[in-house]
Amino acid sequence: MKHLPFEREAVPRSVAHHTRTTPAPRPTTGRSPPPVGMRGDIVQQPVIVGVDGSSNSLLAVGWAADEAHRRGAPLLLLHGHDPGHEPFSRRDTEKEHQAAEQALHSALSWVQDHFGDVEAGAELVDSPEAELLAERGREAQMIVLGSRRPGPVTGFLLGSVGLRVLSRAVCPVVMIRGGDVDRHPRKGEIVAGVPAEEKEAAAVLDFAFRTAAAHGVPLRAARAWGLPAMFAQRSGATSLSGRAGEIEGHNRSELLDLLKPWRRRYPDIAVTEHVERGFAAEMLMTLAAGAELLVVGRSGRGGGYVGHVVHSTMHFANAPVAVVPAE
């Protein structure tokens, strides 16, 4: 992936204002065409990326642009300005809008220069960030966000905005932790944490296989398991060993069954099953080292709940993390 320029250019006042969209031209650049097989209705849905002008959000822009190219999808750069946010003065409001316009213009210019075949646009919208992203995500392939380090604009990556987007979005949300993408180019496999719940597992595998197909890389489907607490406390070593083997065999068989329809649909993707005893979050963080992407599931329950696995991998996995909601 190409490195993003962190310095910005001067931005004309007409570049973006309120809900104005700035579409990108599509010059011929000699880049290879998007991969075959990524056509259909889903391709018409955009990849959305939150922009706040920080170096981490610029890394997210680069990741999102590359992903849009691979999938043959449009790209939308988005920034939300909270109308309920009261700056100290009118001058502060003007400065915030100028900074937002400048951040969007700089990011969009970079996309045009490096991914000219991607249909890209940028919007500055008067709306709270999390609500804006979640709403636009209803008609998107995915939302891409950088880490939570603050940028020069009051924006997507501050406070709990990322968690609110994760808990509300109906499309996958990809979190790019600052620096990891830059230090670890995309050349590994896709790692998918496959949960026991069938609906959630199907959503994870759908996204993971689509991504592996777009990237032309192998997929590792992983599941962790553990002994029931009371059994572990009351059983002797012999019965514990036998029961452990039985539970591991059951989980492996269940994982193989879940993978069957996806293997038939994507026969060219090399798939490895990984089943081990332990905690899911720890296992996935270990497997994610060197991976192009880690894919985990989020249950459909509301109330801002995202789960321990999502929390842990989002903050500590050494790879971009895609959080996929159960459909």
**Which of 55-69, 108-122, 168-182, 274-288 is predicted with the least confidence, judged by mean pLDDT?**
168-182
Partner residues linked to 80 by β-bridges: 125
Q: Which residues contact 261 (CB under 8 A, 6 or more apart)?
A: none
pLDDT, position 256: 97
Between residues 6 and 175, the one the model is more confident about? 175
**Domains of the chain with bracketed CATH:** 21-183 (3.40.50.620), 190-325 (3.40.50.620)
pLDDT(187) > 80: no
> What is this structure's pTM?
0.80
Task: State how beta strands 219-225 and 75-81 pair.
Answer: unpaired
Between residues 147 and 61, the one the model is more confident about? 61
pLDDT(159) > 80: no
pLDDT(260) > 90: yes
Written as one letter, the residue type at 165 is: V
Q: Which residues contact 267 (CB under 8 A, 6 or more apart)?
A: none
Taking Cα atoms as reference points, which of 271, 254, 248, 247 lies closest to residue 197?
254
pLDDT(231) > 90: no
| pLDDT range class, residue 41, cuts 50, 70, 90 | low
| pLDDT range class, residue 241, cuts 50, 70, 90 | low
pLDDT(128) > 60: yes
Read off the pLDDT of residues 8-30 as tens digits, 9 standing for 90 and up: 333 333 333 333 443 333 333 33
pLDDT, position 98: 85
Question: If you average pLDDT over residues 31-43, what whole number do you get?
Answer: 45
pLDDT, position 43: 60
DSSP assignment of 68-134 equals HHHHT--EEEEEEE-TT---SSHHHHHHHHHHHHHHHHHHHHHHHHH-TTS-EEEEEEES-HHHHHH
| pLDDT range class, residue 167, cuts 50, 70, 90 | confident
pLDDT, position 161: 77
